[in-house]
Structure 1
Amino acid sequence: MTVSLHHCHVAVHDVDEALAFYRDALGLEVRDDVTADGCRWVTLGGPPGIVLSEPHAARSQEDGDTLQELLARGALPMVVFRTGDLGATFERVRASGAEVLQEPIDRPRGLRDCAFRDPSGTTVRIVQEPGQVKRR
């Protein structure tokens, strides 16, 4: 039996603001945009896909409040993407106005990566694996 990731959720303050980052800056394609019971979920890429949703979407008030607090503190797990051209990807995302946390650097074993903060404060790392490294 093979098990693989289908999608993961990323909590955001504002779905439309997050779309400008994940769709426009990172270039992920919108696969689904659903609104139900006053909540919205937008699936990008995939599978595996990224699902953007507000903290209270399909959660109890208490859980949504807790998630909102963690989101506000920047205490949620990071999201890591892979690219074949880190230099070009970095420049495209930086040109979007995203907050740069780390410019591209070399890591052990040939890995190269950079980091941004999405509009809701989530850390987004972008990696380029060994053998694919293109330097600008």
Structure 2
Amino acid sequence: MTAATAPARSRPALTWALRAAGAVLLAAMGWLHLDLWADGYRTIDVIGPAFLLNGIAGFGLAVLLLAAPRRLLPWAAALGALVAAGTLAALLLSTTVGLFGFVETTAAPLWWETFWIEAGAVVVLGVLAVVSRRRPA
């Protein structure tokens, strides 16, 4: 094996590792939102339904990421990254200036876990979206 073929052969392994990590992060994001929704966030106007929707979307996007054919993988990864980035932005907004009349605090249950999982998902899925693009031969 030459040095020129080594990166080409390692790309599928890297792609699958990023797929798996991204799917785990999206599912964790979904689980956190469903758990918090069940714990009482469901009673908050706008925020409650958003948590339920985010929980369902997290699991759905995790499945999509694992099931997407190679040609659609960059799009699935980009979609997951955008949803995670939007969720992270909503978390930060709700903690700083409030969101839909709701103000969160970093002392809230699972705040830091949510922050790191969503930030990690943005990074992992962003890298996957770039790495999984087809390169011309």
The TM-score with structure 2 as length reference comes to: 0.33
Q: Which has the higher helix share?
A: 2
Larger Rg: 2
The TM-score with structure 1 as length reference comes to: 0.33
Using CA pairs under 8 Å that are at least 6 residues apart, name the structure with larger relative contact order, 1 or 2. Answer: 2
Q: Which has the higher strand share?
A: 1
